[in-house]
Amino acid sequence: MKDFSFYAPTEVVFGKESEEMVADLVKKYGGTKVLVHYGGMSAKRSGLLDKVCGLLTEGGIEFVLLGGVVPNPRLSKVKEGIALCREKGLDFILAIGGGSVIDSSKAIAYGVPYEGDVWDFYLGKAEPQTCLPVASVLTIPAAGSEMSEASVITNEDGDIKLGYSNNISRPKFAIMNPVRTFTLPPYQTAAGVTDIMMHTMERYFNPDGDMTVTDVIAEALMRTMKECVFEVLKNPEDYRNRAQIMWAGSLAHNDVTGNRMNGDWATHQIEHELSAMFDVTHGAGLAVVWPSWARFVMKENLSRFVRFAVNVMGVENDYTDPEGTALRGIAAMERFYHAIGMPNSIHELIGRDITDEEIKEMARKCTRNNTITQGKFKVLCTEDIETIYRMAR
Ligand code: NZQ
Ligand code: ZN
């Protein structure tokens, strides 16, 4: 087994009515003047925002509201949040929403004590020494940001979507009430499950070799998601299955299914260019990219793809034809995506053909003008990434 360190410090409070704990938790982690950060209308419409604000008021905690975070959260909103926190002397950021709101919160948290431009961190030009504490009341299981060290922000100036990871921004607590996910539309539900499974698959397809316990946890998580998603698409108020998905979303990205192995992450990086250019839903973009990535890289370690096909996708192992087994596993995943309402091609994702120029631009941005490669399972250069986009078009 490879040496590793595992760090997942977020306190999780999970279950019905768990938001009742919000004021106590904010106090426990030192918050006295809070930025309550949220997205479009969902948290307002469901009454969650008002409920949390009421609980903070009852708990004697001052707060300021900042809504308007959009999916693929924007740098301009982050800068608005930084200015607001400084102006009002806020010392804690509470995200009410999903990955986009939590990521925006993390970026604000880095930016408040930093004198330079917060985008420096995403460009790799600087490292934050400190940040404000962040926590969340989660409303969509998908990105796993509620326990992760990552945040992904889009700079509208050039449509550049970049991630930055630092343990100092790991959320202090995450409140997860599956009932709050009953209002999710089917597309967001399915895209969320796709992202959850992909966070596990990015780690599962690694070049590091044996991590038996971790691999078995990963396979069980993926099989469970494949079952639960159909149940909640049939019945959005199915608490049992909403709860499995919500908890899996955190486990898939708090590194329980990875243990610091060299996860691949190429599918994510290739997708981030799609969501930067076309503002599409992250999980839907992943569903489009992964099968092409898989077919392009599978010969690097065919037995891994055979294991995935058999243990996760339920494909019968043809011992005389490992390549055929691996390919049937990838095809089964493609059918699964389609069955849950995810697109199978870039055309389906963006509603038109993609041009060669757009493919070239995305591949170039993905390797920062040929200065970096992507992926660990197979190392990909700009031309390889272009090929994967073409296969997915
Ligand atoms: O804005 P509102 O009105 O709240 O609507 C949101 C949004 O339109 C809606 N929604 C959320 N909870 C709801 C709800 N609608 C009804 N009922 C509810 N309970 O869902 C839509 C999507 O929300 P968003 O936060 O964008 O979803 P997600 O959690 O998938 O986050 C996506 C972002 O996270 C990044 C992605 O790239 C993307 O920008 N990622 C962040 C990661 C991380 N920080 O570790 C890792 C991921 O791989 C990912 O890259
Ligand atoms: Zn993701």
Query: Does position 48 have pLDDT exceeding 80, yes or no?
Result: yes
The answer to whether position 1 is within a domain reads no
pLDDT (average), residues 273-294: 98
162 and 193 fall within a common domain:
no
Q: What is the CATH number of the domain that holds 44?
A: 3.40.50.1970
Query: Does position 105 have pLDDT exceeding 80, yes or no?
Result: yes
pLDDT (average), residues 57-74: 98
Each residue of 206-215: pLDDT tens digit?
A: 988 778 999 9
pLDDT (average), residues 71-91: 98
Which of 108, 139, 140, 275 for a ligand 1 pocket mutation test, highest count of atoms within 8 Å of Cβ?
Answer: 140
169 and 46 fall within a common domain:
yes
155 and 18 fall within a common domain:
yes
The answer to whether position 4 is within a domain reads no
Each residue of 229-281: pLDDT tens digit?
A: 999 999 999 999 999 999 999 999 999 998 777 899 999 999 999 999 999 99
Each residue of 170-199: pLDDT tens digit?
A: 999 999 999 999 999 999 999 999 999 999
Identity of the highest mean pLDDT range in 1-10, 127-136, 251-260: 127-136
Is-above-0.85 flag for pTM?
Answer: yes
What residues have CB less than 8 Å from 311, skipping those under 6 apart? 219, 223
Out of 155, 180, 205, pick the residue that ends a domain.
Answer: 180
Q: What angle do CA 169, 173, 178 make, to 5 degrees?
A: 125
Comparing 2 with 340, which gets the higher pLDDT? Answer: 340
Output the pLDDT for position 97.
Answer: 98
Residues with CB under 6 A from ligand 1: 39-43, 71-72, 97-101, 103, 139-140, 142-145, 148, 150-152, 180-181, 183-184, 188, 192, 195, 253, 268, 282
66 and 118 fall within a common domain:
yes
Output the pLDDT for position 179.
Answer: 98
**Range of 333's domain?**
186-392
C-alpha radius of gyration, the chain, whole number? 20
Output the pLDDT for position 210.
Answer: 75
- DSSP bridge pairs for 64: 35
Name which residue sits closest to atom 20 of ligand 1, judged by CA: 188
Query: Does position 290 have pLDDT exceeding 90, yes or no?
Result: yes
CB atoms closer than 10 angstroms to residue 87? 9
| Contact assessment for residue 107 and residue 47, using Cβ atoms and an 8 Å cutoff | no
Distance CA 185, CA 33 (A): 33
The answer to whether position 44 is within a domain reads yes
86 and 195 fall within a common domain:
no
pLDDT (average), residues 35-43: 97
Q: What is the mean pLDDT of the chain?
A: 97
| Contact assessment for residue 171 and residue 209, using Cβ atoms and an 8 Å cutoff | no
Domains identified in the chain, total number: 2
The answer to whether position 192 is within a domain reads yes
213 and 129 fall within a common domain:
no
167 and 195 fall within a common domain:
no
> How many Å lie between the centroid of ligand 2 and the Cα of residue 268?
6
The answer to whether position 221 is within a domain reads yes
The answer to whether position 203 is within a domain reads yes
Which of 134, 152, 160, 199 for a ligand 1 pocket mutation test, highest count of atoms within 8 Å of Cβ?
Answer: 152
Mean pLDDT lowest among 47-51, 155-159, 192-196, 343-347: 155-159
Ligand 1: which atom is nearest the Cα of residue 102?
44
The answer to whether position 6 is within a domain reads no
The answer to whether position 5 is within a domain reads no
Counting ligands in written order, the one closest to the CA of 281 is 1
220 and 318 fall within a common domain:
yes
pLDDT above 90 as % of the chain = 95
Output the pLDDT for position 1.
Answer: 82
Out of 161, 180, 199, pick the residue that ends a domain.
Answer: 180
Query: Does position 121 have pLDDT exceeding 80, yes or no?
Result: yes
324 and 366 fall within a common domain:
yes
Torsion angles phi and psi, residue 160, rounded to 5 = -105, 120
Output the pLDDT for position 204.
Answer: 95
Output the pLDDT for position 295.
Answer: 98
386 and 303 fall within a common domain:
yes
163 and 195 fall within a common domain:
no
Strands (E) in 186-281, as ranges, are none
Q: What is the CATH number of the domain that holds 386?
A: 1.20.1090.10
Out of 158, 180, 202, pick the residue that ends a domain.
Answer: 180
343 and 195 fall within a common domain:
yes
